[in-house]
Chain A
Amino acid sequence: MSGILLLEQSLNGLQFGLMLFLLAAGLTLVFGIMDMINLAHGSLYMLGAYLMATLAQATGSFLVALPLAIVATGILGVLLEMSLLRKLYQRDHLAQVLATFALILIANEVVRMIWGAQPMMLATPAVLSGPVDLLPGLSYPSYRLLVIGVGLAVAALLYWLVTRTRTGMLVRAGASNREMATAMGVNIKRLFTIVFGIGAMLCALAGALLGPLLAVQVGMGEEILILAFVVIVIGGIGSIRGALVGALLVGMVDTIGRAFLPALFREFLPPQYAAGLGPGLASILIYLLMALVLFWKPQGLFPARG
């Protein structure tokens, strides 16, 4: 196993982890602060990707479409929060799960009606479609480097927002003790709307950036939502730091597992068994990781509530 291979796989893990973080950050804040289980978070990711693909086609520019798609999804998120989700805060988790699951079904059908059942094409910007030579013997796709760069920048921005600004202070107060924050005169209603809007924008960013790497399609949100939930359970609900660490852990474990486990099994098993066992085990590794974390730290790695 060469250093270059290890470096390339780490970059892949980092890229995947950072995208998971964008989704998990919004999810963990909504869950941690509002105590609201929002299964429709993945639908916002899907809507963000579809809006991005449509706007990129309409404007012909990735860079112009990106902010538009993010803002549009943010507005959608805010409208959703003010019209429907607000009524669910007082209900128990079961009602929230049922209502937001219904939202998933509605969103999928609406997208199917508007955009059709076929996936949409979202191309990487032409300048970023080729590789960059990072080291001799390692050329890495330039688009994936951009994704890593944007992911790191957003993580830093969120860190600054949460730890250094007044809104961030309110968010942290809300996450650690909601009743007390309300009692101290925090306008919790407005805070929730802001947090939900930010979560929706992060979803759109993830959807827009991952669109060219995956496929913009109906149901794309559900698969990644499961991983986002694993991330926030590992990281600790309500904690941005936990979401970042959890997302990077899951991204790394998934990539390393997919890359090296099948190769490892091929060393001592016939290919047809290795073929089944390697990818199979690789895909349950992250759930194994979650189970271990839950066993040793039931609150997650960085619990937000004291």
Chain B
Amino acid sequence: MKTGSKLAGIALALMLTTPGQAADKVKVGLVSTLSGPAGALGVDMRDGFNLALKHMGGKLGGLATEIIASDDQFNPDTGKQIVDRFVKRDRVDFVTGIIYSNILLAAAPTAFESKTPYVSANAGPSQYAGKGCSPYFVSAAWQNDAFHEAAGQHATSRGIKDVYLMAPNYPAGQDALTGFKRFYKGKINTEAYVKLGQLDFAAELAQMRAAKPEAVYVFFPGGMGINFIKQFVAAGLSKDIMLLLPGFSADQDIIPAVGEPMLGLMSTAHWALDLDNAENKRFVADFETDYKRIPSVYAAQGYDTALLIDAAVRAVKGKVEDRDAVMKALKSVKAKSVHGPYRINNNGYPVQNYYLRVVGKDAKGRIVNKTIGTIFTNQADAYAKECALK
């Protein structure tokens, strides 16, 4: 133990003497949920990120890149420990990858305190969008409310009058229903929350049947979504009640597991498989070739995150140790993306379009999402004006 700590001290001293110069490589710490029913999201995100890296010849901003990937096991404590290790031991230049907002809220402050840029590929809690915004946070995905705001707007424009709302009881779940209610003008039948990670919804579905709503809007990511939709159909509720979903609960991580019952379900997201731009076509085609499956929205976000980091490193000419310049670049560069042009707002969250998609069959007979309309154009989140950052 003693020798170990001595050695660590020497190593630390050596590191401190390294003179400040343009780095010859970029280190990215990727922490994500990579196991369990909640883990398919993280795996897709990571694979999307790696595909972008492959497209750029293994380099970010022209510099050799080292990715350190770690599984947070769906546990906020583990996530925090990993980020701690990333910034103290591995001294990464960027942290990214957290899927779940409760884990992000536990882990990200460690990155913020050490002034390490956090580039979100998924979780976008309202806590970091308004008064609590951080100069070291940027999202290449969305603010948590966004898909749900679009869904609320969609419900309003369809003239739906009576909706039953349900989400897991954690920060993104609360953001989800808040977002939906912001743009939904009809009556709210019930607003219910369940434990995050719950997989059996028998009791909740019975309550839903008794409440007789016109439509149900649920936000259940990953395995929760798979089980909810299967059980919703198995309980016979799909005959009388319309099921509205955010993109998270109707994408390629869920569609293959549920199968035919998904057909015709509508959802809202900032990306879709058939979005017409060159990056997206290349991304979708190569993802299928490399990973033998159709990419989900999480894979698209992982890809976009890598592109954003790449553009920022290029903009600072490889001087990634100048953290404030990196942050400025992250917020101002025009990065390419698979979901079309977007810009980063003062609070670090994107301003972008949101689309309505419907699940149908493609030319090969596979069940996939198709874009059928645009709900919001250049939409910013509702919290940005409360953020003191310029």
Contacts and interface: CB of A to CB of B under 8 A. Distances in A.
A259 B203 contact: yes
A141 B234 contact: yes
A155 to B, nearest CB: 20
A135 to B, nearest CB: 12
A90 interface: no
Contact of A276 (B35, B71, B169, B226): B169
Contacts of B233: 129-130
B141 interface: no
B227 interface: yes
A275 B169 contact: yes
Interface residues of B, number: 35
B82 to A, nearest CB: 16
Given A215-B223, A279-B193, A140 B235 contact: yes
Contacts of B230: 124
Given A131-B235, A279-B193, A272 B35 contact: no
B207 A263 contact: yes
A144 B43 CA distance: 32
Number of contact residues on A: which range applies?
A: 35 or more
Q: Which residue of B210, B230, B235 has the most chain A CB atoms within 10 A of its CB atom?
A: B210
B209 A5 contact: yes
Given A218-B35, A259-B203, A4 B210 contact: yes
Nearest to B238: A131
A276 B170 CA distance: 10
Interface string A116-152: 0111010010000111010000111111100000000
A235 interface: no
B132 interface: no
B7 interface: no
B207 A131 contact: no
A141 B203 contact: no
B204 interface: yes
Interface of B: 34-37, 39-40, 43, 71, 169, 174, 190-195, 199-200, 202-204, 206-207, 209-210, 223, 226-227, 230-231, 233-236, 257
17 contacts: A9-B206, A15-B202, A118-B43, A138-B209, A139-B236, A213-B227, A213-B231, A214-B200, A215-B227, A217-B36, A218-B35, A258-B194, A258-B203, A275-B169, A275-B193, A279-B194, A279-B195
